[in-house]
Amino acid sequence: MLQTTLCYLERGGEYLMLHRVKKAQDANHDKWIGVGGKFREGESPEECVLRETWEETGLTLTQYRYRGLVTFVSDCWPAEQMHLFTATMWTGTPHPCDEGELAWIEKEKLLALPMWEGDRIFLRLLEEDTAFFSLKLCYQGEKLTAAFLNGQPLLEEKEE
């Protein structure tokens, strides 16, 4: 199973978002997501999120919080476990990202942007300051067909 991290850098009422528009064959193409990426051999979630955030933004996280584990199951892509973080402090100078365009987006405007339907669920959990959670999201193509929070159904499974 693929292991990844995703981090939302928080500044006041905004998150730093990445509009994925630069890579061909990108499962996230044209969607807005946080920053992060795939684990390297032997990395912990914390090591991965620190490295990926620096690579994509030029920023070094100095205060961050491990918020949850999101499991993705898809009929199009390999299964993935994403370790979800938020950060409130960092150092460094931002640089351009080779995977897309970085932008600070007001939280109340996030849901109007193109994003995965399941991302809307975990963004709500972050906003509600939900304790550490496990979320399972099941997709057929780009359609969310089921969601489970801490083992309990949020969205019943449905077939296309």
Q: At which residue do the structure tokens 């961050």 appear?
A: 64
Asked if residue 84 lies in contact with residue 46, where contact means CB atoms within 8 angstroms, the answer is no
User: What is the number of H-type helices and E-type strands within the chain?
Assistant: 3, 9
Asked if residue 88 lies in contact with residue 154, where contact means CB atoms within 8 angstroms, the answer is no
- Of 102, 139, 135, the closest CA to residue 27 belongs to 139
Instruction: Please state the φ and ψ torsions of residue 55, each to the nearest 5 degrees.
Output: -60, -40
Per-residue pLDDT of 69-80, as tens digits, reads: 999 999 998 999
Q: Domain boundaries in the chain?
A: 2-155
- Of 87, 82, 65, the closest CA to residue 131 belongs to 65
* pLDDT (mean) for 2-20: 94
**Res. 1: pLDDT tops 80:** yes
Provide the pLDDT for residue 24.
66
* pLDDT (mean) for 89-96: 93
Residue 50 DSSP label:
H
Per-residue pLDDT of 29-87, as tens digits, reads: 678 989 999 999 999 999 999 999 999 999 999 999 999 999 999 999 899 999 999 99
CATH architecture of the region 2-155: Alpha-Beta Complex (3.90)
Instruction: Please state the φ and ψ torsions of residue 108, each to the nearest 5 degrees.
Output: -70, -10
If one compares 26 and 72, the residue with the highest pLDDT of the two is: 72
Give the number of other Cβ atoms within 10 Å of residue 38's Cβ.
Answer: 12
**Res. 118: pLDDT tops 90:** yes
* pLDDT (mean) for 124-135: 96
